[in-house]
Amino acid sequence: MPSPRERWHSRTAFIMAAIGSAVGLGNVWRFPYVAYQSGGGAFLIPYFTALFTAGIPMLILEMGIGQRLQRGAPGAFAAIRPKLEWFGWWAAGLSAAIVIYYSTILAWSWVYLWHSLDVAWAGDVEGFYAREVLHKSAGPGELGAPVWPLVLGMALTWLSIYLILRRGVRNVSKVVMVTVPLPLVLLAVLLARGLTLPGSADGIRYYLTPDFAMLGDWRIWLRAYGQIFFSLSLASGVMIGYGSYLGRRAEITNSALITAFANCGTSFFAGFAVFSMLGYLAQVQGLPVPDVTDSGTGLAFVTYPMAIAKLPALQAAIGVVFFITLLTLGIDSAFALQEAFTTGLHDKWRLAPEKLARVFVLVAFPVSLIFTTRGGFYWFDIVDKWVCDFGLVAAGLGQSLIVGWLYDVRDFRAYLNGISEVRLGAWWVWALRVVTPAVLVVILVMNLKAEIEATYEGYPRWATSAGGWGTLVLFAVLGWFLWRARGRREAA
């Protein structure tokens, strides 16, 4: 007798977990910057267009297919066509790749949390990041030894993930009740601090002043689609895996809408917290706001800490709040990613959650140590770029084509309408069949073209081939083995 599938505690728990996965570092250090750079307030137009024509349709598809087929990505695609199991493993493999490097950012955040206590970066913020924290080498060719505080941060991260996942989805149901609201409260604290500083209004003005002329540049539209995809955790098997732990009559469409709006609302809100602080920093330094604006790791580990060091009071407290915000934002995205992969293993081999969590962490932790070495930053940067800009985009493309054209998507729509609070119109089918794949093809081609013209960040070709393409191929091969391996169901 197979044991019954694990279930979420409640509908709220499912929605919270989905929001936890979607709301992550991308909302804080990517959205505000992309918005500011792409027309400010006017960026909301391409952003919402991307949300409605691709993001929400895909999210409904992923949650719905997981719920209907009661399996994670590999099993779900196998149910559509047996050979597609390989594709499902590849998508889920991308989530394994992401969690392995995403954990690096959490490791850095632990280290900064520690240094917040005495605002150790004050003075030379950039030098502190590169030399004291990363011990950055000259390039990817010079790996060097692991930096031990980073190893410690990495160990704390994986230990947290293990402790949360070892009791499976029921435990995740409880954890997300803390890790989802807490960063929102902390962001509100940061916003309150930011808004009461001189210069904050200038920062916010830069963030939101609409520049409608920029909407004529079609690259801005592509950027909006890219941001929506990453932010909603699409194409990585995460939402399929989470959907698979829903009961058979569970509501889908409205849950997806709630998740999407909560995520985008958080991004918009985070922009105020970030830009009010940047406005202050600009004022203190006597520079225009654009000169202190940064995205990605630079924002979180250089620019924002720089502003903290310039605060008139409570520097350590705000530092602690900021890095706990990053940690709580990131941790539920991290364990969702791991769960996406291990759900596939569970479906095929009926392994217990504790064992899956243990084995995964025991393999992933040593691998992730590459990113704690002195050259680790460069490899982190390369893997991130390739997995997101090529891997996730290709997986999203495959997924929309497979479900749009090989699966009876009209019947699927009727199924969803039978269980959901909101009715899906025929537009949904066409968003999946035509709009999403068309946009993703263009993004993929553009990214490839840019890469052929000049290697990313000027890294040597051998490094981007090994770290970037190598990672994608490695997971394709791993997916092939997992697909060919005999599962419990077939063996029995």
Nearer to ligand PHE, 102 or 280 (CB): 102
Nearer to ligand PHE, 98 or 307 (CB): 98
Closer residue to ligand PHE (CB): 112 or 280: 112
| Residue 4 CB, nearest approach to ligand PHE (Å) | 27
The CA distance from 270 to 204, in Å, is 11
Please list every residue from 430 through 449 that binds ligand PHE, using CB under 6 A.
none
Kindly state the smallest distance separating residue 460's Cβ from ligand PHE, in Å.
Answer: 27
Q: How far is CA 333 from CA 17, 337, 420, in A?
A: 9, 6, 26
- Contact assessment for residue 58 and residue 324, using Cβ atoms and an 8 Å cutoff: no
Binders of ligand PHE among residues 19 to 38 (CB under 6 A) are: 21-22, 24-27
DSSP secondary structure code for residue 6 in this structure:
P
In the complex, minimum distance from the CB of residue 387 to ligand PHE, in angstroms, rounded to a whole number: 9
The residue among 8 and 230 lying less far from ligand PHE, judged by its C-beta, is 230
Query: What span, in angstroms and rounded, lies between the C-alpha atoms of 136 and 126?
Result: 12
| Choice between 125 and 337, CB closer to ligand PHE | 337
- Within residues 221-260, the interface with ligand PHE by CB under 6 A covers 230-231, 233, 236, 238
Q: Could you tell me how many residues of this chain bind ligand PHE (CB under 6 A)?
A: 15
Of the candidates 376, 338, 327, the residue with the CA atom closest to the CA atom of residue 360: 338
- Residue 402 contacts residue 460 (beta carbons within 8 Å): no
Q: Is 146 strand, coil or helix?
A: strand
Q: In the bound complex, what is the minimum distance in angstroms from residue 94's beta carbon to ligand PHE?
A: 8
Q: Smallest distance from the beta carbon of 218 to ligand PHE, in angstroms? A: 24
Nearer to ligand PHE, 236 or 244 (CB): 236
Q: How far is the CB of 31 from ligand PHE (least distance, A)?
A: 8
Q: Between residues 236 and 342, which has the closer beta carbon with respect to ligand PHE?
A: 236
Of 56 and 311, CB closest to ligand PHE: 56
For ligand PHE, the closer CB: 42 or 392: 392
What 3-state DSSP class applies to 163? helix
Please state the closest distance from residue 254 (CB atom) to ligand PHE, in A: 20
The smaller minimum CB distance to ligand PHE, of residues 262 and 463, is found at 262
- Contacts with ligand PHE, 187-206, as mask; x by CB under 6 A: --------------------
Name the minimum Å distance from CB 91 to ligand PHE.
10
Q: How far is the CB of 19 from ligand PHE (least distance, A)?
A: 10
In angstroms, the CA 22 to CA 263 distance is 6
* E strand intervals along 236-282: none
Instruction: Please list, in sequence order, all residues whose beta carbon lies within 8 angstroms of the beta carbon of residue 481, skipping any fewer than 6 positions away.
Output: none
Give the pair of three-digit tokens for residue 122.
């004050």
Residue whose tokens read 């406005």: 279
Footprint (CB under 6 A) of ligand PHE, residues 264-293: none
- Whether residue 332 contacts residue 175, with contact meaning beta carbons closer than 8 Å, is answered with yes
Residues 88-147 that bind ligand PHE (CB under 6 A): 98
Name the minimum Å distance from CB 334 to ligand PHE: 8
Handedness of CA 256, 67, 335, 177 (dihedral sign): positive
Alpha-carbon gap, residue 242 to 237, rounded angstroms: 9
Other CB atoms closer than 10 Å to residue 472's CB: what's the count? 19
Residue among 21 and 436 whose Cβ is closer to ligand PHE: 21
Alpha helix locations (H) across 244-314? 253-285, 297-298, 304-309
* Spatial contact of 1 and 194, defined as CB atoms under 8 Å apart: no
For Cα atoms 311, 179, 18, give the angle at the middle one, nearest 5 degrees.
125
Q: For ligand PHE, which residue of 106, 337, 383, 416 counts as binding (CB under 6 A)?
A: 337
Coil vs helix vs strand at 373: strand
Burial of 109 per CB tally in 10 Å (0-12, 13-18, 19+): buried
Q: How far is the CB of 25 from ligand PHE (least distance, A)?
A: 4
The Cα 464–Cα 21 span in angstroms is 28
**Residues 304-333 within binding reach of ligand PHE (CB under 6 A):** 333
Region of 17-25, 108-116, 283-291, 414-422 interacting with ligand PHE (CB under 6 A):
17-25
Give contact residues for ligand PHE (rule: CB under 6 A).
21-22, 24-27, 98, 230-231, 233, 236, 238, 333, 336-337
